[in-house]
Chain A
Amino acid sequence: MVKRITAALALGLAMGWATTATAQETLKIGVILPYSGPFADAANQLQAGIDLYIAEHGGEVAGRKIELIKKDTGGPAADAAQRAAQELVVRDQVDILAGFALTPEALGAAPVATEANVPMVVMNAATSIVTERSPNIVRTSVTIPQLNYAFGKWAAEEAGVKQAYTLVADYGPGHDAEASFAKGFTEAGGEILGSDRTPVANPDFSAYVQRVRDANPEAVYIFVPGGAQPAAIGKALVDRGLAPPDVKILAQGELTHPEALESMGETARGVITTFHYTLERDDPLNKAYVDGYMAANNGRKPDLFSIGGYDGMHLIYEALKATNGDSSAEAFVEAAKGMAWDSPRGPVMIDPETRDIVQTVYIREVQEVDGELQNVIIHSIPEVKDPLHGAN
């Protein structure tokens, strides 16, 4: 009897050993994204960025085979993301958590990353505080204050705008955008005439745009999430004569992403946006990236989500190369700190202090190039850090 039990135990141990041995070889990355629901498109674009990087650089790094395990959150749900992260860590024993299109997802998973001590690569979620929620978080996307503080300053200093009205979506990122644009703008001598907030799922903007028109500002600053809203608000503005050159339209880059531009057509001409990634930026690295992406995705163009996923995978690959395949949080995060590389979006660096991305902020204007409306870069501000980190 005892012999039998010993034999069974030995067998069990051996099997356990065997699985740990293979686990050493494969590197499991748990990807948490809103694959279904209203943000499914963001998740798909981000995933396509991840897939493209793996396809280009091979499914193996530092002797470890990459395996992705995907978990769906269905939308901005912190609890769903936390549950997904727990399952990934406990049941699937992933080595790295990645993805996170939306801030609530990142906030939900952050405590799990700390507790389980796994590295967490945030590939989109753009609220400033995200990286402060766990020492294991590294972000490869962008922060909203990073873009808009610099943009506000630029608008007052270089574009000569004296007064503006702000119109933002009524949720965390919108509030961040409103505050950081206003801060940069007023510090540089501009004046905010008024500010309104629109519901996140707002189907019709006519009322808000009419309020802006009543205030008769020199410029209007807009932040809306991607999807259907950019085109809707753009058209509402132009329908009321709030259009360049009479009134300057300033916005974060979502407003003039490719689909919105197509839908707005002529009316988008002259809109000025701030963004970290510009599809048309003339650069061989970017061109190869865009071509590869479109070839792999039926002609669909990459966007901000795609580049976040692509660079996120780059970070994972390079960090693992530096640590010789060691994916423990300490080694991984240490390797990621200060890492700099040339991304299709331009030169980027991971800030060693905040583990957040430092990058060039581009200011673009919609102009006609070869008969097509595009975001043309009119100004670049290099090496911009998030202005809020360390401030509170």
Chain B
Amino acid sequence: MIGNIAIVLFDGFAFGMLLFVLSVGLSVTLGLMNFINLAHGAFGMIGGYVTVLAMRQFGVPFLLTLPAAFLIAALVSVFFERTLFRRLYRAGELNQVLFTIGLVFVATAVATYFFGTGQQPIVLPSWLRGSVEIAGLRLGVYRIFLIAIALVIVALVYFGLEQTRMGAQIRASVDNQRVAQGLGLDVERIFAVTFALGSGLAGLGGALAIEIVGLDPSFGFHFLVYVLIVVAVGGLGSVAGSFVGAALLGIGDVAGKYFVPEIGSFLIYLLLVGILLVRPLGLFGKR
């Protein structure tokens, strides 16, 4: 029984970490820039297709495609940020929602045009497949890999925001745009960089997600609900919040389905409602 609980915790945590990588970027852009970007999942989809293309067409090893997924998703997002998104920074929330959800439809259509409607399978290197036995527990290798990557990202983002000059500039621009601008910070550039980093992380998440949940043109919609729950539970703009929120959601989802399969898939929504009732701003939300 103890072994079962440990397995469920592990599986849930790994799934949570996938959600974390997918959603942390949205939490950052939403919290720091007050921009509601529902097209976040579409950037995840770009990352996924980059990995599929690189592996299929050019035979690039899986690990090397991950930075490419990050970079290309980030670059594409900068292009759109400069041409489209920035016009809506000051627009009302409804406009932002309508615009970005429209963008997801466009992304779905574009992906269908180029790649067709089918699933895009990838074949992982053999060392990432199968499972290993640790202390009598059978753990999936890819899930261990997911957890490791997520932890590295947490460390990098946390360190980056708290300890670097760029991080300080981002925090300053968010706290008070006008003053930051007055002090000579190029706020527009800082927002563009933040946006690119957030979308890049989504791209990385999309690439990592293929093995667990697959990839097709509806990816952008598929994960929107999960990603929004993570952000809402964790609190806007908080990296630690996204981490805890994603872990809770992943574990809650898997544990719920394991112990009470009849209502298992509903349990995470209950969890969401419960948490938001007690803490309307999310676990780590500040405003």
Q: Write the residues of chain A forming the contact surface with B, with a CB cutoff of 8 angstroms.
A: 37-38, 40-41, 43-44, 196-199, 201-204, 206-208, 210-211, 214, 227-229, 231-232, 235, 238-241, 259-260, 262-263, 265-267, 298, 300
Complex CA gap A219/B236 in Å reads 46
Complex CA gap A240/B133 in Å reads 10
B254:A239 contact, CB within 8 angstroms: no
Complex CA gap A362/B258 in Å reads 33
- CB contacts (< 8 Å) of A40 on chain B: these are 112, 117, 217-218
B119:A44 contact, CB within 8 angstroms: no
- CB contacts (< 8 Å) of A265 on chain B: these are 123, 129
**When A202-B265, A263-B121, A263-B122 are in contact, do A207 and B258 touch as well, CB less than 8 Å?**
yes
- Considering only residues 101-132 of chain B, those with a C-beta below 8 Å from chain A are 112, 116-119, 121-123, 129-131
**When A41-B216, A238-B130, A241-B138 are in contact, do A208 and B121 touch as well, CB less than 8 Å?**
no
Given A198-B257, A232-B214; 20 other pairs, CB 8 A cutoff? A37-B218, A40-B217, A44-B117, A197-B261, A199-B265, A202-B265, A203-B222, A206-B12, A206-B15, A207-B8, A207-B261, A208-B258, A210-B258, A211-B261, A227-B119, A227-B216, A228-B119, A239-B143, A263-B119, A267-B130
A260:B216 contact, CB within 8 angstroms: no
Complex CA gap A201/B223 in Å reads 11
Complex CA gap A300/B129 in Å reads 26
Q: What is the CB-to-nearest-CB distance from B214 to chain A, in angstroms, rounded to a whole number?
A: 3
Proximity bits, B159-192, A CB within 8 Å = 1, else 0: 0000000000000000000000000000000000
Interface size of B in residues (CB-CB distance below 8 Å): 39
Which one, A210, A211, A240, contacts B131 given CB within 8 A?
A240
Complex CA gap A232/B217 in Å reads 17
B214:A227 contact, CB within 8 angstroms: yes
| Consensus secondary structure, chain A interface | helix
Q: What is the CB-to-nearest-CB distance from B117 to chain A, in angstroms, rounded to a whole number?
A: 4
Closest residue on chain B to residue A38 by CB atoms = B218
- Considering only residues 229-287 of chain B, those with a C-beta below 8 Å from chain A are 253-258, 261, 264-265
Kindly name the residue among A44, A201, A202, A206 whose own CB sees the greatest number of chain B CB atoms within 10 A.
Answer: A206
Q: What is the CB-to-nearest-CB distance from B71 to chain A, in angstroms, rounded to a whole number?
A: 25
**When A228-B213, A239-B130, A239-B131 are in contact, do A260 and B121 touch as well, CB less than 8 Å?**
yes
- CB contacts (< 8 Å) of B12 on chain A: these are 206-207
Q: What is the CB-to-nearest-CB distance from B65 to chain A, in angstroms, rounded to a whole number?
A: 16
Complex CA gap A201/B265 in Å reads 10
- Interface presence of B140 (CB below 8 A): yes
Which one, A41, A201, A210, A298, contacts B7 given CB within 8 A?
A210
Closest residue on chain A to residue B265 by CB atoms = A199
Q: What is the CB-to-nearest-CB distance from B169 to chain A, in angstroms, rounded to a whole number?
A: 37
**When A239-B138, A239-B140 are in contact, do A206 and B119 touch as well, CB less than 8 Å?**
no
Q: What is the CB-to-nearest-CB distance from B14 to chain A, in angstroms, rounded to a whole number?
A: 8
- Interface presence of B57 (CB below 8 A): no
**When A204-B212, A206-B254, A239-B131 are in contact, do A259 and B261 touch as well, CB less than 8 Å?**
no
Complex CA gap A182/B123 in Å reads 34
Which one, A41, A203, A210, A267, contacts B129 given CB within 8 A?
A267
Closest residue on chain B to residue A211 by CB atoms = B258
Q: What is the CB-to-nearest-CB distance from B136 to chain A, in angstroms, rounded to a whole number?
A: 13
Q: What is the CB-to-nearest-CB distance from A248 to chain B, in angstroms, rounded to a whole number?
A: 19
Closest residue on chain B to residue A195 by CB atoms = B261
What are 15 pairs between A and B in contact, CB < 8 Å?
A: A43-B117, A44-B116, A199-B264, A202-B265, A206-B254, A207-B254, A208-B258, A211-B258, A228-B119, A228-B213, A239-B140, A239-B143, A240-B131, A259-B121, A263-B214
- CB contacts (< 8 Å) of A235 on chain B: these are 211
- Interface presence of B4 (CB below 8 A): yes
Q: What is the CB-to-nearest-CB distance from A315 to chain B, in angstroms, rounded to a whole number?
A: 26
A232:B213 contact, CB within 8 angstroms: yes
